[in-house]
Amino acid sequence: MSRIKRGAASDCENFAMGTEIELKLVCPPAVLARVARHPAVRALKTGRARSERLVSRHFDTPDGALRSAGLALHVRRTARGWVQTLRGEGANTAGLQTRPEWNWPVGADAIEPAPLLDTPAAKALGGRKKFSALLETLVPVFESDFLHTTHPLQFPCGTRAELCVDIGEVRAGNRSEPVYEAEIELLPQ
């Protein structure tokens, strides 16, 4: 089984709907509350913050085949509707993550297999027919529920980014863990 990695341009260039580039920071709640108000961040803000509740259901096969292939698959509810996201494995250098990402609007909180069959994931997991059969075995693995606040930023060089602050929890079965994180994600230029 092969893995989907950043830089696999020959496989991804016709399919990737984007490459996510972000610096993710896990912060104690007291620090997280102050991040967006820091003078360095305030100097870069270009507009008003937007907040929305994001609920995501993450899927894999019972034996973890997607995770083993370096893939993550989830369906997320946003203010604009449901979005299905497939992420490939990326590079992580000094906290800066870069990874391929595909997004599709979907009608509900269930996986829609058809668009997944045209991604490099199908090739990595044995071809369209085998990947289609694998998708039939998907089960929910965990759910995340966050208040997601986005602050638009622009750096002096013209680079646009977003500071995203997430406060919420991740749930699996009867267990839950709080999540407090901030990330700076580069936007397409």
Q: What is the pLDDT of residues 36-95, one digit of tens each?
A: 999 999 999 999 999 999 999 999 999 999 999 999 999 999 888 899 999 988 888 877
Predicted TM-score (pTM) of this structure: 0.79
Q: Quick check: 9 pLDDT over 80? A: no
Indicate whether 87 belongs to any domain.
yes
Higher local confidence (pLDDT), 145 or 99:
145
H helical segments located in 43-172: 65-68, 113-116, 120-124, 128-135
Q: What is the CATH number of the domain that holds 102?
A: 2.40.320.10
The C-alpha R_g of the chain, in whole angstroms, comes to 17
**124 located within any domain:** yes
Q: Residue 100 is part of which domain span?
A: 9-186
Tell me, yes or no, whether 3 lies in a domain: no
Residue (of 106, 102, 51, 50) closest to 77 by Cα position: 106
Rounded Cα–Cα distance for residues 18 and 169 (Å): 26
Q: Look at residue 2 and tell me if it is in a domain.
A: no
If one counts the domains in the chain, the total is 1
Q: Check residue 129 and give its pLDDT.
A: 93
**In sequence order, which residues have a C-beta less than 8 Å from that of residue 164 and are 6 or more positions away?**
148, 149, 150, 151, 182, 183, 184, 185
- Tell me what percent of the residues of the chain surpass a pLDDT of 90: 65
Output the pLDDT for position 116: 93
Give domain status of residue 4, yes or no: no
What distance in Å separates the CA atoms of residue 57 and residue 75, rounded to the nearest whole number? 5
pLDDT at 96: 79
Q: Sort residue 173 into left (φ over 0), alpha (ψ -120 to 50) or beta.
A: left
The answer to whether the CB of 1 falls within 8 A of the CB of 68 is yes
For residue 156, pLDDT beyond 60: yes
Classify residue 106: in a domain, yes or no.
Answer: yes
Residue 143 lies in a domain: yes
Residue 64 falls inside a structural domain: yes
